[in-house]
């Protein structure tokens, strides 16, 4: 294992339990991630900053002091708007996080209990329409910042010399089509390591 992830919420893990578990993971050479402050502000975002985690996910209830601590520590805020949508909860404050210079990633959090979609275009649409992100911020969140959140930005997440050239070609004039045609696939071609794998 290369990473250890833990979920902080009432009835799951406490901060003290999480600190102990994640500190043990760090001592074993693993990088750590947290699902934190989804329903209640339990200080998970602050612990992510303290432990210099790769990312903290959810953050619907995170307070601004802990957002600032995450930004200082270089922790990526991975926002999961499909979870808020599925649970009919308020969305994470992406605009506030961006104003605090926090790197924001986007993901589906697809699971049978709280997020019922595998669609990244849908997630990008929710981020733009309900969380105040621009299409460019949402695209960066779904690509480069998402790669940082899983410690893979050295090889994926952007088109740079030395990276493995995973990308797709959209049927549209702008990447903003991902946000404004949410739920409809605008993908024309998919490339993996520079080789076309789907069209």
Sequential pLDDT tens for the chain (199 residues): 899 999 988 888 888 999 999 999 999 999 999 999 999 899 999 999 999 999 999 999 999 999 999 999 999 999 999 999 999 999 999 999 999 999 999 999 999 999 999 999 999 999 999 999 999 999 999 999 999 999 999 999 999 999 999 999 999 888 888 888 777 888 999 999 999 999 8
> In the prediction, which pLDDT does 123 show?
96
Cα(104)–Cα(128) distance, integer angstroms: 13
CA atoms within 13 A on the CB side of 58: 29
DSSP string, the chain: --EEEEEBSTTSB-HHHHHHHHHHHHHTT-EEEEEE-SSS--SHHHHHHHTT-SEEEE-TT--HHHHHHHHHHT-EEEE-HHHHHHHT-PPP-HHHHHHTT--EEE----BTTTB----HHHHHHHHHHHH---HHHHHHHHTHHHHHHTT-TTTSSS--TTS---EEEESSSSTTHHHHTTTS--EEEEEETTEEEE-
> In the prediction, which pLDDT does 9 show?
86
In sequence order, the β-bridge partners of residue 13 are: 8
Domain residue ranges in the chain = 3-156
> In the prediction, which pLDDT does 180 show?
84
> In the prediction, which pLDDT does 185 show?
83
For domain 3-156, the CATH superfamily is Metal-dependent hydrolases (3.20.20.140)
Query: pTM of this prediction?
Result: 0.94
> In the prediction, which pLDDT does 165 show?
96
């Amino acid at each position: 294992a290369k990473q250890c992830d833990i979920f902080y919420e009432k009835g799951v893990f406490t901060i003290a339990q999480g600190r102990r578990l994640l500190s043990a993971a760090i001592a074993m050479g693993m990088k750590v991630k947290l699902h934190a402050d989804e329903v209640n502000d339990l200080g998970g975002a602050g612990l992510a900053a303290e432990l210099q985690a790769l990312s903290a996910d959810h953050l619907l209830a995170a307070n601004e002091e802990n957002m600032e601590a995450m930004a200082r520590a270089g922790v990526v805020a991975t926002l999961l708007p499909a979870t808020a949508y599925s649970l009919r909860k308020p969305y994470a404050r992406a605009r506030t996080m961006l104003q605090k210079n926090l790197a924001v990633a986007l993901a589906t959090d697809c699971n049978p209990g709280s997020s019922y979609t595998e669609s990244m275009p849908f997630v990008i649409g929710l981020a733009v329409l309900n969380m105040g992100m621009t299409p460019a911020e949402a695209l960066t969140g779904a690509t480069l910042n998402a790669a940082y959140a899983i410690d893979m930005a050295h090889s994926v997440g952007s088109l740079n010399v030395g990276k493995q050239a995973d990308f797709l070609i959209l049927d549209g004039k702008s990447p903003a089509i991902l946000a404004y045609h949410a739920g409809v696939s605008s993908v024309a071609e998919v490339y993996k390591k520079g080789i076309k794998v789907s069209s």
